């Protein structure tokens, strides 16, 4: 199988090698604090072994920890309460570091090992940092993270527990992102910044393969996936999930693309608004769902193009709806997810009247509720 990076905007191709991040001609328009131009896509030629997931790093380089293959829940009580018999929950709260980000960190760590790279750095709102620190610990990598001081304490402590170097930023994620880029440019350390490193998108496609496989085995027959609800901030998870379904379509594993929904918080809805207007407009973010709070979605341009190509949709929910959905998932399904994840369930609840009654909808629950106890306490009216 032959792999390359390809620029979705101009079609230029590049080798997948250390030091290559963006498509340089397209990236010349980039400015701090804006969605990135020139984000590259992983592209391959050749035949995929049935049952395997095509990824640009060979299996022998992955570190020894169990990433992915997370459960797909059939939430009976939630289904009957919501009148949604086709609802499924994809549970990534049980990843090693407690979030979906492990799928990307796993691929980046394998890439580092393949190329003999000893250090990885990244900016994060919390989960990407704790994830890279976790996977890096198992892989024997030095990990340096740039984290806003306001990040939930559990995510910060995870970083320290896993033995990574924590650099706290007096500012938001957007400032952490730019500070980290300056650090990796100066030092030559491998950047795991979301979207900037194309592997962070490609690594996130694996869940699509698992969903299709598990829906098949759970009923013995191929089941079409009609809708997938993805909590969205920077737009890397949603783009990765779409990449996965694109591969599955190409491989003949599915007959058509599902409708992919970007679920966003009212206070951080840049991608949803751009899907509506065609343009990204700057607005400072404000939502308690910290993992999806971004001023400028770094992967916005890439994700928007993918959503448009496949007829994707967006749904915007309030912080109150997010907290209600969080409690609902906990109390009716037994699945305790952080607010950023619960956003996807809130989005499903809001969009449900427009979906077909028997249609299959998978809600991606991307992070553990234990990561942000303060918001969880607020949701149940408990003091903290």
Ligand X SMILES: *Cc1c(COP(=O)(O)O)cnc(C)c1O
Q: Which is nearer to ligand X, 38 or 369 (CB)?
A: 369
Q: How far is the CB of 292 from ligand X (least distance, A)?
A: 5
**Residues 179, 169: contact at Cβ < 8 Å?**
yes
The window from 12-20, 82-90, 97-105, 345-353 that contacts ligand X (CB under 6 A) reads 97-105
Among 70, 158, 206, 366, binds ligand X (CB under 6 A): 366
Residue 287 sits in the site that holds ligand X (CB under 6 A): no
Is 265 near ligand X (CB under 6 A)?
no
Contact flag: residue 237 with ligand X (CB under 6 A): yes
* Binding residues among 301-340 for ligand X as defined by CB under 6 A: 338, 340
Total residues at interface with ligand X (CB under 6 A):
19
Nearest C-alpha neighbor of 289 from the set 330, 333, 324: 324
Considering only residues 340-359, where is the footprint of ligand X by CB under 6 A?
Answer: 340-341
Stretch that binds ligand X, among 63-71, 95-103, 169-177, 373-381 (CB under 6 A): 95-103
Place of tokens 């899907």: 275
Least Å distance, CB 367 to ligand X, is 3
- Nearest residue relative to ligand X (C-beta): 367
Beta strands per DSSP E along the chain:
2-6, 13-14, 41-45, 72-73, 87-91, 119-123, 142-148, 165-169, 190-191, 227-231, 259-265, 313-317, 361-365
Distance CA 176, CA 25 (A): 25
Q: Using the rule CB under 6 A, is 260 a contact of ligand X? A: no
- How many residues does the structure list for the chain? 384
Residue whose CB is less far from ligand X, 237 or 328: 237
CA dihedral over 21, 27, 28, 34, signed as positive or negative: negative
Pull the structure tokens for residue 373.
């106890």
On whether the CB atoms of residues 237 and 343 are closer than 8 A, the answer is no
Interface with ligand X (CB under 6 A), residue from 97, 158, 193, 232: 232
Q: Are 41 and 7 a contacting pair, CB within 8 Å?
A: yes
151 binds ligand X (CB under 6 A): no
In the complex, the smallest distance separating the C-beta of residue 95 from ligand X, rounded to whole angstroms, is 10
From the list 161, 171, 195, 152, the residue with the least C-alpha distance to 367 is: 152
What does the binding site for ligand X look like in residue numbers (CB under 6 A)?
Answer: 99-101, 127, 231-238, 291-292, 338, 340-341, 366-367
């Amino acid at each position: 199988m032959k792999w390359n990076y390809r620029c979705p905007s101009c079609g230029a191709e590049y080798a997948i090698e250390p030091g290559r991040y963006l498509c340089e001609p397209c990236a010349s328009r980039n400015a701090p604090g804006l969605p990135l131009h020139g984000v590259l896509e992983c592209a391959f030629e050749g035949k995929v072994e049935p049952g395997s997931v095509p990824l640009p790093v060979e299996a022998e380089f992955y570190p020894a920890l169990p990433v992915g293959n997370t459960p797909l829940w059939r939430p009976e009580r939630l289904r009957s309460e919501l009148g949604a018999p086709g609802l499924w929950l994809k549970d990534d709260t049980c990843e090693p570091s407690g979030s979906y980000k492990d799928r990307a960190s796993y691929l980046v760590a394998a890439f580092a090992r393949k190329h003999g790279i000893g250090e990885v750095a990244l900016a994060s709102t919390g989960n990407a940092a704790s994830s890279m620190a976790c996977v890096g610990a198992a892989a024997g990598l030095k990990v340096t993270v740039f984290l806003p001081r306001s990040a939930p304490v559990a995510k910060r402590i995870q970083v320290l527990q896993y033995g990574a170097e924590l650099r706290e930023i007096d500012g938001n994620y957007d400032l952490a992102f730019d500070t980290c880029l300056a650090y990796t440019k100066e030092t030559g350390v491998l950047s795991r910044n979301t979207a900037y490193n194309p592997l962070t998108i490609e690594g996130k496609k694996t869940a699509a393969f698992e969903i299709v496989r598990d829906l098949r085995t759970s009923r013995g027959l191929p089941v079409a996936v009609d809708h997938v609800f993805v909590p969205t901030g920077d737009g890397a998870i949603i783009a990765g999930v779409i990449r996965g379904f694109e591969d599955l379509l190409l491989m003949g594993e599915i007959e058509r693309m599902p409708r992919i929904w970007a679920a966003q918080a009212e206070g951080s809805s840049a991608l949803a608004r751009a899907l509506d207007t065609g343009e990204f407009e700057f607005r400072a973010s404000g939502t308690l769902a910290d993992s999806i709070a971004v001023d400028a979605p770094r992967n916005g341009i890439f994700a928007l193009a993918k959503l448009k190509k496949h007829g994707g949709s967006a749904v915007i929910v309030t912080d109150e709806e997010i907290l209600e959905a969080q409690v609902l998932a906990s109390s009716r399904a037994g699945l305790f997810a952080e607010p950023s994840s619960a956003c996807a369930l809130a989005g499903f609840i809001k969009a449900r009247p427009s979906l077909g009654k028997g249609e299959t909808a998978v809600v991606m629950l991307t992070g553990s509720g234990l990561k942000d106890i303060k918001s969880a306490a607020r949701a149940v009216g408990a003091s903290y």
